[in-house]
Amino acid sequence: MSTTIKTLLRDGWNGDPDTVPCVIEHGDNSILIRPDGYGDCGSAEGHGWPIVIEYYEKDVRVLVWADINQEDPTHVISLAKAEESNRITEA
C-alpha cells in the first residue's frame, strides 16, 4: 500500500514567492521524491523519482540521481552514522 503527498517547496534563501511542486510517495520500504520537472534516466517524463529513501539490508540510505542521463544513482548515502545511538556525549 502506498500513499501520495503533493506539496510545494519554497525558496529558503531569500523568501522568493516562487515554488516547486513536489510529489512524495511512500510504501513499505521506501520514500520516493519527485520535484516537478525532475526525473531519472529510465522513466518517462513526470514519472521518475530522482530521490529515494530506502531501508535496504538493515541500512537506511538515500539514493540520488543527480544526472538524468546516468542510469545508476550518482549518490548512495548511508545514514548509519546518523543514528542517534552513535551520538558522542561529553562525560
Query: Three-state SS string across 6-30, please?
Result: EEEEECCCCCCCCEEEEEEEECCCE
Give the model's pLDDT for residue 11: 85
Give the model's pLDDT for residue 7: 96
For the segment 39-48, what is each residue's pLDDT rounded down to a tens digit? 999 999 999 9
For the segment 52-66, what is each residue's pLDDT rounded down to a tens digit? 999 999 999 999 999
Q: Quote the percentage of the chain above a pLDDT of 70.
A: 99
What the block records as the C-alpha cell of 28 is 513499505
CA 53 to chain centre: 5
Calculated CA dihedral for residues 5, 8, 11, 16, nearest 10 degrees: -170
Question: What is residue 56's DSSP assignment?
Answer: E
**Domain chopping of the chain, boundaries:** 3-86
- What's the pTM value of the predicted model, to 2 decimals? 0.88
Cα distance between residue 66 and residue 39, in whole Å: 9
